[in-house]
Amino acid sequence: MAALSLKQKVRLLTGADLWTLHAEPAVGLRRIVTSDGPAGVRGGAWDERDPAANVPCPTALAASWDEPLAVEIGQLLAEEARRKGVDVVLAPMLNLQRSPYGGRHFECFSEDPLLAGRIGAAFVRGVQAGGVAATAKHFIANDSERERMTVDVHVGERALRELYLAPFETVVREGGVWSAMASYNRVNGCPMTESPLLRGVLRGALGFDGVVMSDWFAARSTVASARSALDLVMPGPDGPWGGALLAAVRRGAVDEAMIDEKVLALLRLASRVGALDGRERATPRPRKPADTAAVLRRAAAAGFVLVRNDGVLPLDRAVIGRLAVIGPNAATPRTLGGGSATVFPPYTVTPLAGLRAALGDEVTVDHCTGARAGERLPVAGPGWLRRPSGEAGVEVRFVAVDGSLLGTENRATAALHLSRSLRHNGALAWLEIHTVIRASASGPYVIGASGIGRYRLSIDGRVAFDTRLTPAPGADLVESLVVPPQAVHTISLAAAQSIDVTLAHEVGSAAAEMGDVDLSIALNLLPPQASGDAEIDRAVALADAADVVVVVVGTSEEVESEGFDRDSLALPGRQDELMSRVAAANCRTIAIVNTGAPVLLPWADDVAAILLTWFPGQEFGHALADVLLGLAEPGGRLPMTWPSQETGLPSTRPVNGTLSYGEGLGVGYRSPSCEAAFAFGHGLGFSRWEYLAMAAPGEVPAGAPAEVAVEIRNTGSRRSREVVQVYASRPDSALDRPARWLAGFAPVSADPGETVCARVPLAARVFEHWDAERGRWAVEAGQFHLGAGRSCVSLYLTAEVTVRDAVSATRPSAASGRPGAACCE
Ligand code: BGC
Dump pLDDT digits (tens) for 290-316: 999 999 999 999 999 999 999 999 999
Average pLDDT over residues 220-231: 98
Dump pLDDT digits (tens) for 311-331: 999 999 998 999 999 999 999
Dump pLDDT digits (tens) for 636-660: 999 999 999 999 999 999 999 999 9
Q: How confident is the model at residue 112 (pLDDT cuts 50, 70, 90)?
A: very high
Q: Is 296 helix (H, G, I), strand (E, B) or coil?
A: helix
Mean pLDDT of the residues in the chain: 94
- pTM equals 0.95
Question: Helices 532-545 and 575-585 sit at what angle, rounded to 10 degrees?
Answer: 30
Q: Which of 87, 143, 215, 576 is catalytic?
A: 215
Q: Is the pLDDT of residue 785 over 80?
A: yes
Kind plus residue range of the DSSP H or E element containing 459: strand 453-459
Dump pLDDT digits (tens) for 571-630: 999 999 999 999 999 999 999 999 999 999 999 999 999 999 999 999 999 999 999 999
- Counting ligand 1 atoms within 8 A of each CB, the residue from 90, 105, 233, 561 with the most, and so the one to mutate, is 90
Separation between Cα atoms, residue 514 and residue 509, nearest integer Å: 9
- 167 phi, psi to nearest 5 deg: -65, -35
Separation between Cα atoms, residue 738 and residue 90, nearest integer Å: 32
215 is catalytic: yes
Dump pLDDT digits (tens) for 124-176: 999 999 999 999 999 999 999 999 999 999 999 999 999 999 999 999 999 99
For the CA of 93, the nearest atom of ligand 1: 9
Does any ligand 1 atom lie closer than 6 A to the CB of residue 42? no
Positions of E strands within 175-230: 179-182, 186-187, 190-191, 211-214
Ligand 1 center–CA 215 separation, angstroms: 6
Q: How confident is the model at residue 806 (pLDDT cuts 50, 70, 90)?
A: low
Positions of E strands within 304-343: 305-309, 322-326
Q: How confident is the model at residue 473 (pLDDT cuts 50, 70, 90)?
A: confident
Does any ligand 1 atom lie closer than 6 A to the CB of residue 478? yes
Residue nearest to atom 8 of ligand 1 (CA): 215
Q: Is the pLDDT of residue 346 over 50?
A: yes
Separation between Cα atoms, residue 169 and residue 165, nearest integer Å: 6
Q: Is the pLDDT of residue 514 over 90?
A: no
Q: Is the pLDDT of residue 809 over 90?
A: no
For the CA of 477, the nearest atom of ligand 1: 7
Q: Cα 174 vs. chain centroid, distance in angstroms?
A: 21
Does any ligand 1 atom lie closer than 6 A to the CB of residue 108? no
Dump pLDDT digits (tens) for 376-414: 999 999 999 999 889 999 999 999 989 999 999 999 999
For the CA of 235, the nearest atom of ligand 1: 5
Pairing between strand 720-729 and 741-750?
antiparallel
- The full DSSP string for 110-162 is -SSHHHHHHHHHHHHHHHHHTT-EEEEEEETT----TTTTT-EEE--HHHIII
Identify the weakest region by mean pLDDT among 70-84, 273-287, 591-605, 653-667: 273-287
Average pLDDT over residues 426-452: 94
pLDDT computed for residue 820 by the predictor:
61
Q: Is the pLDDT of residue 818 over 70?
A: no
Express as a percent the part of the chain with pLDDT over 70.
97
Does any ligand 1 atom lie closer than 6 A to the CB of residue 162? no
**Do 722 and 689 form a contact (C-beta atoms < 8 A)?**
yes
Does any ligand 1 atom lie closer than 6 A to the CB of residue 148? no
Dump pLDDT digits (tens) for 33-65: 999 989 999 998 888 889 999 999 999 999 999
- Cα torsion 532, 533, 538, 542: sign: positive
